Structure 1
Amino acid sequence: MQNLARLFSLILLLSIPACTHEEKEPLRVGTILWPGSEPIFLARDLGYIDDGSIRLVEYTTLGEASREFRNGMLDAAFITFDIALQLQQQGIEPRVVLVIDYSEGADAIVARPGVRRLEDLRGKRVAVEDMVVSIYVLGRALKMAGLQPSDIQVVRIPVDQQLRSYESGQVDAVVTYEPFVDKLRAAGAHTIFDSRQLPGEIVDVLVVNKDVLEKSPEQVEQLVQGWLQARHYLEEHPADALARMSPRLDTSPSELASMFDKLRMLSLEENLSLLGKPSSPLVESARQLQRFMLEEGLLREPVQPEQMLDARPLEALQESR
């Protein structure tokens, strides 16, 4: 009997690990320096998300973040919609689970004082990051001014090196986005074009790998909820929120407030109306963006942007209210 009892105890001990749930790895979420994604850092600061479930990974440029997402080093990323279209064409299957913001002035072309309007760019050296969103802003601006790309000298410069290039006199104008617009203006540049002239066309989104969304929906919901909660906190307690967020962007609370004035950050309800309908304005914006990308050779063939939209995390949050 004693031997049988020992054998039973051993079997019970061996069976315990098989019955326990394996702890999930934290979601690896790529971010860049962009005011629209800053609420996710505010969410971490306020305890809405934690490193045990969601790990924020910081990158200098969109190109770095998108490459790491494409290579499977990230589970989710804050990116522009144009990058999501490219990822879809490459077979990565990103899922847009949250529309972060529409840029309403936060993407811009800034220039030296002698360049007073877009037409004055003819023959000038223009710094552009090698990313679709910057090329798109420049292309749309040139078309509005009746200029061709061949009318200017395009200089490919990463966003984190543009200020130095401007200050050293290497370029006459820069296509960039906040917080770099603000830094260039402080260096003497002025805005000659911005995304207010492209309403609804520059969209920032949170994408999640399709397989990750299927395997870890609760973690994705926590990520989405954290950003939405922080957005609400920013609305209700702007002074404290701005004071918490501004150091990471190396700016003052008042300067950060002016950057947020150039963005329209979307609520849960607005997101549901965009992601839950295949015929939403978001899809039309994506198709317009896609036409430009095809013309410029930035996409090889058309994709189906509506296939990327996934409102399930938002719907789960709405149901839990």
Structure 2
Amino acid sequence: MKTSDLSKRLAAAVFAASLSTGASAQQKDSFSIAWTIYAGWVPWQYAEDQGIMKKWADKYDIQVDIVQVNDYIESINQYTAGQFDGVTATSMDGLAIPSASGIDTTALIVGDYSNGNDGLVSKDATSIGGLEDETVYLVELSVSHYLLARALASVGLEERDLSVMNISDADLVSAFQTDDVRHVATWNPLLTEVESFPGATKLFDSSQIPGHIKDLTLVKTETLAANPKLGKALVGAWYETMSILESDTPEGEDARAFLGELSGTDQQGYEAQLAGMKMFWEPQMSVDFINSEEAFAAMDSVRQFSFDKGLLGQGAMSPDFVGIEFPDGTIMGDEGNVKLRFNDDYMAMGAAGEL
């Protein structure tokens, strides 16, 4: 899911700018939202298959197509280039790809944050300090890379105190089974597999940085402004799906089994992934979180990492390059270049029963 590659991130910027800069969104009645396989996003397929999305779209006389894209970063690049009206992404990738490319983007739904689904595992070290002068394998510039940076900072170390080796998520588990690879950072379900290796120790996980790895549904700000019905339909469908997914009912069990199979596992495996996430089952939970000091501080940390790794582009002279707006109007970064917005209006409508 969360694979990141700098060249792929930045390749979309010029093309997207040529398509999207200066374009004015208009009212329309048909929209498309891209998603990729991950525990926090597969519920969109359930909403599609069970007619929940259609029910809410019909309520507002629009059509919403939920489209699966096999490559996570490519889905965000396609959104950035104007091929989709919305996309599922982490907060870091939403900042580093569309927003840094000049695409004004709104986080319409804050669905969850990783609360143990991302981790750092070693065959040898029993503490983070034991990684000094060692080599850690991970998907470079991904949230795993961010997790490692936070883990090192927690004990006063920096990335320069060790070596980082890039590896694809497809190869990581098999590589960890060899003698050469001793330490890895990754996400579930890969994390569960490497953690079960005999003698392996989990040194750090995302539960120690709550709120930092957020899973979002993003939409273009201009599109949302011109078509508020889209926001209402998406939020209504999402939280109806959440109410089913969390329920201790036959319908809830069937939903989790369906999503487990869709995710390449089963009901038990999917429920284990959910346990490693802080799910915002109700819209008020999302509203409360995104208005918290915790969320603000986490986003500040994410943008600092993104700048340090060059993810904000060559024109970025500081982490302030991209302005990030929060629900209360507070802006982090350049007020003249606000390109990522956390808007809780529609989630608040859902919480108030006004959709």
TM-score (norm 1): 0.81
Query: Any idea what SS the aligned residue of 1:37 has?
Result: coil
Within the alignment, does 1:140 sit opposite 2:147 as a pair? no
Match of 1:304 among 323, 336, 339: 323
- 1:206-259 alpha-carbon deviations (Å, 9 max, x no partner): 110123213433233222222211111112134222211101211221222122
The root-mean-square deviation of aligned C-alpha atoms, in Å, is: 2.6
Query: Any idea what SS the aligned residue of 1:56 has?
Result: strand
Counterpart in 2 of 1:287?
300
Q: Flag structure 1 segments of 5+ consecutive residues without an equivalent.
A: 1-21
Which runs of at least 4 in structure 1 moved beyond 6 Å after TM superposition?
A: none
Distance 2:234 2:193 in 1: 30
The amino acid of 2:140's aligned partner reads D
Distance 2:300 2:204 in 1: 23
Aligned residues: 295
- 1:102-160 alpha-carbon deviations (Å, 9 max, x no partner): 21111111232x33332222333322213342221111111223333233221112323
Distance 1:227 1:23 in 2: 21
Instruction: Flag the 1:162–1:228 CA change in 2: closer, same or farther, 3 A.
Output: same
Distance 1:185 1:207 in 2: 32
Counterpart in 1 of 2:217?
206
Distance 2:293 2:163 in 1: 38
Contact 2:257 2:270 in 1 (8 A): no
Distance 1:180 1:219 in 2: 35
Counterpart in 1 of 2:36?
32
Query: Any idea what SS the aligned residue of 1:33 has?
Result: coil
Match of 2:177 among 156, 163, 167: 167
The amino acid of 2:108's aligned partner reads V
- 1:13-50 alpha-carbon deviations (Å, 9 max, x no partner): xxxxxxxxx984341x2223321112222222322114
Distance 2:82 2:47 in 1: 25
The amino acid of 2:267's aligned partner reads P
Within the alignment, does 1:271 sit opposite 2:253 as a pair? no
Q: Flag structure 2 segments of 5+ consecutive residues without an equivalent.
A: 1-26, 58-62, 326-337
Contact 1:54 1:223 in 2 (8 A): no
Instruction: Flag the 1:172–1:74 CA change in 2: closer, same or farther, 3 A.
Output: farther
Give the alignment of 1:23-172 within 5 angstroms: 24-27=29-32, 29-50=33-54, 53-61=64-72, 63-86=73-96, 87-112=98-123, 114-172=124-182
- 1:146-203 alpha-carbon deviations (Å, 9 max, x no partner): 3332332211123233223323455222221122212333555542210111122222
Query: Any idea what SS the aligned residue of 1:49 has?
Result: helix
Larger Rg: 1
Q: More helix by proportion, 1 or 2?
A: 1
Instruction: Flag the 1:170–1:43 CA change in 2: closer, same or farther, 3 A.
Output: farther
Query: Any idea what SS the aligned residue of 1:101 has?
Result: strand
Deviation of the 1:66 alpha carbon: 2.3
Contact 1:283 1:305 in 2 (8 A): no
Contact 1:110 1:191 in 2 (8 A): yes
Distance 1:223 1:233 in 2: 16
Query: Any idea what SS the aligned residue of 1:36 has?
Result: coil
Give the alignment of 1:251-270 within 5 angstroms: 251-266=265-280, 267-270=282-285
Counterpart in 2 of 1:320?
354
Distance 1:107 1:198 in 2: 10
Match of 1:218 among 201, 209, 229: 229
The amino acid of 2:37's aligned partner reads L
Contact 1:106 1:262 in 2 (8 A): yes
The amino acid of 2:286's aligned partner reads N
TM-score (norm 2): 0.74
Distance 1:78 1:23 in 2: 21
Give the alignment of 1:189-204 within 5 angstroms: 189-204=200-215
Contact 1:268 1:314 in 2 (8 A): yes
Distance 2:81 2:126 in 1: 42
Distance 1:295 1:283 in 2: 19
